[in-house]
Structure 1
Amino acid sequence: MTIDVPQHTLDALTDVDMPRLSPEATPSETVRLAGIDVPVYRAGCVVVGSGAAGLRAAVEMKRRGDDVVIMSQSAWGGTSACSGSDKQTLHTANTADQGDNFKAMARAIRAGGAMDEDTAYVEAVGSARMMATLQFLGLPLPQDPLGGTLRYQTDHDEVGRATSCGPRTSRLMVKVLADEAIRLGVPFFNHTTAMKILTEGEGDLRHVVGVIAFRASDRTDTNQFGVALFACEVLVLASGGPGELYRDSVYPNGCFGSLGLALQVGVELVNLTESQFGIGTRREGFPWNLSGTYVQAIPHIYSVDAEGNEHHFLAQYYRTTQEVASNVFRKGYQWPFHSTRMLDFGSSLVDLAIFRESAAGRRVYMDFNRNPLPVPGDLPFDLERLDDDVKRYLGNAGAGQQLPIQRLRHMNPLAIELYRRYKIDIAAEPLEFGVNNQHMNGGVMVDTWGRSSLAGCYAIGEAAGTHGVTRPGGAALNAGQVFGTRVAEHVGASGRAKIPSKRDLRAVAGAGVFDLLAVLKADSPLNVKAIRSHVQARMSDKAGLICDSKSVSEALAAAKRLNAEIREKGIAYDRPSEAGRALQWQQMALASEAVLEALDYFIRNGGGSRGARAICDPVGECVPLSSVGPLQEFRFRKEQDAHRQEQIVVRLDGKQMAVATRSNRKFDETAKSFFERDWPAWLTGGIYDLGPK
Structure 2
Amino acid sequence: MTSVVPQSILDALTDVEMPRLPPEPAATEFVELGGLQIPVHRNGCVIVGSGAAGLRAAVELARRGGDVTILSQSAWGGTSACSGSDKQTLHTANTGDQGDDFRQMAKAIASGGAMDADIAYIEAVGSPRMMATLQFMGLPLPQDRLGATLRYKTDHDETGRATSCGPRTSRLMVKVLAEEALRLGIPLRNQTTATEILVDDGRAKGILAISARARSDSNPYGFALFLAPAVVLAGGGPGELYRDSVYPNGCFGVLGLAAAAGLDLVNLTESQFGISTRREGFPWNLSGTYVQVIPHIYSIDADGAEHHFLGDYFRTTQEMASNIFRKGYQWPFHATRMLEFKSSLIDLAIFRETQGGRRVFMDFNRNPEPVPADAPFSLDRLDADVSDYLRTSGATHPRPIDRLRHMNPLAIELYRRYKVDIAAEPLEFAVNNQHMNGGVAVDSWARTSLAGCYAVGEASGTHGVTRPGGAALNAGQVFGTRAAEHIAATGAKADLQGDACTLATAALNRAMATLRPHSPLNPQSLRSEIQARMSDHAGLICQPSAISLALADARALSARIAVEGLSIDRPAEAARALQWQQMALASEAVLTALEAYVSAGGGSRGARAICDPQGDSVPETSSGPLETFRFRSERAKDKDSQILIRRTDAGFSVATRQVGTLDETEKTFFERDWPDWLTGRIFDTAERV
Q: Are residue 437 (structure 1) and residue 433 (structure 2) matched?
A: yes
**Is contact 2:412–2:423 with CA below 8 Å preserved after alignment?**
yes
For 2:189, the equivalent position in structure 1 comes to 189
Q: Distance in 2 between matches of 1:70 and 1:397?
A: 43
SS in 2 for 1:97: coil
Partner SS state of residue 278, structure 1: strand
Letter in 2 for 1:472: P
In the alignment, the residues of structure 2 paired with residue 550 and residue 196 of structure 1 have an alpha-carbon distance, to the nearest angstrom, of 34
More displaced stretch, 4-13 vs 496-505: 496-505
CA contact (8 A) 1:68 1:497 kept: no
In the alignment, structure 1 residue 675 sits paired with structure 2 residue 670:
yes
Would you say 1:512 and 2:477 are equivalent positions?
Answer: no
Q: d(CA) in 2 for partners of 1:28 and 1:500?
A: 18
Residue of structure 2 in register with 1:593 after alignment: 588
CA distance in 2, matches of 1:146, 1:254: 43
Aligned with 2:284: secondary structure? coil
**Is 1:276 paired with 2:297?**
no
Q: What is the match of residue 492 of structure 2?
A: 497
> For residues 531 and 222 of structure 2, what CA distance do their matches in structure 1 show?
28
Name the residue aligned to 1:637: 632
- Aligned-partner Cα distance in 2 for 1:619–1:539: 24
Letter in 1 for 2:661: K
| 8 Å CA contact 1:100, 1:159 repeated in 2 | no
Measure, in 2, the Cα distance between the counterparts of 1:115 and 1:288.
27
Q: Is the 8 A contact 1:617 1:635 kept in 2?
A: yes
The alignment partner of 1:644 has SS state of: helix
SS of the aligned residue for 1:11 comes to helix
Q: Name which of structure 1's ranges 19-28 and 48-57 shifts more when overlaid on structure 2.
A: 19-28
Q: For 2:303 and 2:497, how far apart are their aligned partners in 1?
A: 67
Aligned length: 688
For 2:52, the equivalent position in structure 1 comes to: 52
Q: Which residue type is aligned with residue 301 of structure 1?
A: I
Report the alpha carbon displacement of residue 95 of structure 1 after superposing the two structures with TM: 3.4
Cα deviation for residue 297 of structure 1 reads: 0.6
Distance 1:589 1:290, change over 3 A: same
CA contact (8 A) 2:40 2:224 kept: yes
> Of the candidates 341, 348, 352, which is equivalent to residue 344 of structure 2?
348
Contact 1:28–1:42 (CA<8 Å) still a contact in 2? no
1:670 Cα offset (Å): 2.2
Please report how far the alpha carbon of residue 497 of structure 1 lies from its aligned counterpart in structure 2 after TM superposition: 2.2
Shift of 1:96: 6.7
Report sequence identity in percent: 68
What is the aligned partner in structure 2 of residue 128 from structure 1?
128
Runs of 4+ residues deviating >4 angstroms: 690-693
What amino acid does structure 1 have at the position aligned with 2:155?
D
What's the CA shift string for 1:545-568, capped at 9, x where partnerless?
000110100100000110111111
Hey, what's the Cα distance between the residues in 1 that align with 2:265 and 2:372?
A: 50
Q: Contact 1:65–1:498 at 8 Å: present in 2 too?
A: no
Q: Which residue pairs with 1:375 in the alignment?
A: 371
Give the Cα separation in 2 of the matches to 1:215 and 1:593. Answer: 27
Contact 2:3 2:409 (8 Å CA) reproduced: no
Where 1:612 maps in the other structure, the secondary structure is coil
1:209 equivalent to 2:214? Answer no
Matched, 1:88 2:88: yes
1:115 aligns with: 115
Aligned-residue offset at 1:680: 1.1
Q: For the Cα contact (< 8 Å) 1:154–1:473, is it kept in 2?
A: yes
Distance 2:92 2:417 in 1: 29
| SS of equivalent residue, structure 1 residue 211 | strand
SS at match of 2:435: strand
Q: Would you say 1:173 and 2:173 are equivalent positions?
A: yes
Which among 246, 264, 268 is matched to residue 250 of structure 1?
246
Question: Match for residue 561 of structure 2?
Answer: 566
Residue 445 of structure 2: aligned partner: 449
**2:97 match: secondary structure:** helix
* CA distance, structure 2, for counterparts of residue 96 and residue 78 of structure 1: 32
Match of 2:463 among 463, 467, 479: 467
Deviations 1:608-666 (A, max 9, x none): 00001000000100010001110000000010010000000011011411011010010
Corresponding letter in the other structure for 1:312: H
1:498 shift after superposition:
3.7
Return the match for 1:358 from 354, 363, 369. Answer: 354
- The answer as to whether partners of 2:14 and 2:168 remain within 8 angstroms in 1 is yes
Whether the 8 Å contact between 2:566 and 2:577 is mirrored in structure 1 is yes
C-alpha deviation, 1:28, in angstroms? 2.6
1:689 matched residue in structure 2: 684
Deviation, structure 1 residue 222:
1.4
Match for 1:411 among 382, 389, 407? 407
* Structure 2 equivalent of residue 41 of structure 1: 41
Listed one character per residue, the Cα deviations across residues 166-203 of structure 1 (whole Å, up to 9, x for unaligned) are 000000000000000000000110000000111111xx
Contact 1:34 1:511 in 2 (8 A): no
| Runs (5+) with no aligned partner, structure 1 | none
- CA offset at residue 591 of structure 1? 0.4
| Cα contact 2:40–2:500 (8 A) shared by 1 | no
Structure 1 residue 398 corresponds to structure 2 residue 390: no
Does the C-alpha gap of structure 1 residues 367 and 686 become closer, same or farther in structure 2, counting only changes over 3 Å? same
Q: Measure how far apart 1:503 and its partner are.
A: 1.3
Structure 2 counterpart of 1:279, which letter?
I
Rounded Cα–Cα distance in structure 1 between residues aligned with 2:28 and 2:262: 30
State whether residues 105 and 124 of structure 1, in contact with CA within 8 Å, keep that contact through their aligned partners in structure 2.
yes
Amino acid at match of 2:311: A
SS of residue matched to 1:666:
coil
Hey, what does 1:322 align to over in structure 2?
Answer: 318
Residue aligning to 2:539: 544
**How many Å separate the matches in 2 of 1:560 and 1:348?**
33
- Scaled by the length of structure 1, the TM-score of the pair is 0.98
How far apart are residue 100 of structure 1 and its match?
A: 2.8
Single out whichever of 32-41 and 359-368 deviates more from structure 2.
32-41
Using the TM superposition, give the Cα deviation of residue 22 of structure 1 relative to its aligned residue in structure 2, in angstroms: 1.2
CA distance in 2, matches of 1:686, 1:63: 21
Counterpart Cα distance in 2 of 1:655 and 1:536: 25
**Cα distance in 2 between the residues matched to 1:6 and 1:96:** 27
- Shift of the alpha carbon at 1:26? 1.1
State how far apart, in whole Å, the 1-side matches of 2:89 and 2:374 are: 36
1:199 equivalent to 2:199? Answer yes
Distance, in Å, in 1 between the alignment partners of 2:113 and 2:604 is 13
Contact kept, 8 Å, 1:26 with 1:41, in 2: the verdict is no
C-alpha deviation, 1:315, in angstroms: 0.6
Residue in 2 aligned with 1:337? 333
Task: Check whether the contact 2:31–2:500 (CA below 8 A) recurs between aligned residues.
Answer: no
Q: TM-score, normalised by structure 2?
A: 0.99
1:139-177 CA-partner distances (Å, limit 9, x unpaired): 000000111100000000000000000000000000000
Partners of 1:493 and 1:688 within 8 A in 2: yes
Give yes or no for contact 1:42–1:500 (8 Å, CA) kept in 2.
no
